[in-house]
Structure 1
Amino acid sequence: MHPHKTEKAHSALRDRPADVSVLERRILILSDGRREDAEIADLLGAQARDAIARLLRDGYLSDRDVAQTAPAAFIASIAPASVVAAPPEALPARAATAAASSRRSIAAAKMYAVDMLQLQRGPEAAAIAAAIRGCRDQDELAAHMLRALRFIHSVANPSLSRRVADRLAEIMPEQYLAELDVFRDALFGDRTVAA
């Protein structure tokens, strides 16, 4: 199973309701539809399995595997008419363009960096997160996110820091990708191409 966040989960990450524990918040942060539930449980401990089950049951998470096997008729019944009426060869190109543009956002990168810093804890992580939250200039914000990545690389295991770098490469606006690539080369010694 590859759990991913629902709109309810995004709201919970934003609003921090009392009924979502720290462990459940961490699970929501890590649930990106690419990681398996077993991988998330390995990262967060055995108690994460029960928490994942609750988040699925309560509508915070959805199983990407189930969503991918939904019948085409059901998808067509809920899709906007313009998408259904489009010629079949236009659908993949339109979907790929929409997906790529919707994933790239300085706001999304900002939220992700802050969430990853909150997982690290400690005064330096809190200071970097505060600088990111308080920043209004996009170029300065990108610099703070690189600082966050350097900090995460220094305190977390290499696998996590690489995943954070790869995710930032997927969601940061394209104008900052060259700088991020140079930074990733310096941290990891090789260029990792984002999916």
Structure 2
Amino acid sequence: MTIEKTASGVFALEARSQLAPKERQILILSNGARSLADMVDIFGKDCVPLLKKLEQAGLLRGVSQTPPPAPVVAVPSNAAEGPKRAKNRSLAACKIYLIDLLQLQQNEEAIQVVHSLRQSDEPHSILELILVALNLILERSGERYVERVANRVFEIVPDEQLNMFIRLTQQLHIPILDLVARPYVGLLAEAPAPA
């Protein structure tokens, strides 16, 4: 079951009624395409009470009918696992993901990055813009949020561009992004060299 805005939710957004920034972000992303698990991935576990509150206020529907996301249980493993990688990886997916998030930022700088991302089709430029977007999200939303966003980006950057993306990330010297990139450096080091 997906979560979507009610007519009252749409009106509350359009009227710019007294919503907290996080409530606005949740309403914007509640477009009938995301489940409760998706929202938890984006906003963290602490968004569940807020989603329920918005549903009780009549601004959202689909929260109560959705089973809560299953808790993540660590499974011990003898072999060290590499970083998580998405099955379908593409720069287009990275662009779409970041454009969605930047539209929540509601400032001129974010709008400019969205425009540039939409116009860009060269891999190096896209990767640089992704890093500009991550830095902007870090400045506006903090380390905890940007860490989740950066992890997702690293999961969906295609293998062909992963090496370049890691290098560009390391050149920025932003500690939280370096931390997210570190496991992928090891992944590349373990990859067999071309014959």
> Which runs of 5 or more structure 1 residues have no equivalent in the other structure?
1-5, 67-98
Q: Distance in 2 between matches of 1:131 and 1:17?
A: 32
- Which of structures 1 and 2 has the larger relative contact order (alpha carbons within 8 angstroms, sep 6+)? 2
Q: 1:49 matched to which residue of 2?
A: 52
Q: Distance in 1 between matches of 2:101 and 2:36?
A: 9
- 1:180 is displaced (CA, Å) by 3.1
Matched, 1:32 2:38: yes
Amino acid at match of 2:174: L
Q: Distance in 2 between matches of 1:30 and 1:174?
A: 29
Percent identity between matched residues is: 22
Q: Please, what TM-score do these two structures have when normalized by structure 2?
A: 0.56
Q: 2:174 matched to which residue of 1?
A: 187
Residue-by-residue CA offset, 1:161-191 (whole Å, 9 max, x unaligned): 1111111001111222233334167212643
4+ residue runs over 6 A deviation:
16-20
Q: Distance in 2 between matches of 1:33 and 1:132?
A: 23
Matched, 1:163 2:163: no
Q: Distance in 2 between matches of 1:151 and 1:106?
A: 19
Of residues 101, 106, 109, the one that matches 2:87 is 101
Residue-by-residue CA offset, 1:123-153 (whole Å, 9 max, x unaligned): 0011101111122333322221111112212
Query: Would you say the 8 A contact 1:113–1:145 is kept in 2?
Result: yes
Q: Distance in 2 between matches of 1:134 and 1:157?
A: 27
Q: How does 1:3-42 map to 2 (within 5 A)?
A: 21=10, 23-26=26-29, 28=34, 31-32=37-38, 35=41, 38-41=45-48
**TM-align CA RMSD:** 3.8
Of residues 114, 121, 125, the one that matches 1:136 is 121
- 1:50 is displaced (CA, Å) by 3.8
> Which runs of 5 or more structure 2 residues have no equivalent in the other structure?
11-23, 72-84, 185-195
Which deviates further from its counterpart, 27-36 or 147-156? 27-36
Amino acid at match of 1:65: A
Query: Would you say the 8 A contact 1:29–1:115 is kept in 2?
Result: no
Matched, 1:145 2:152: no
Residue-by-residue CA offset, 1:3-62 (whole Å, 9 max, x unaligned): xxx7x77xx8xxx99787453333549953764874224xxxx5422446723468xx67
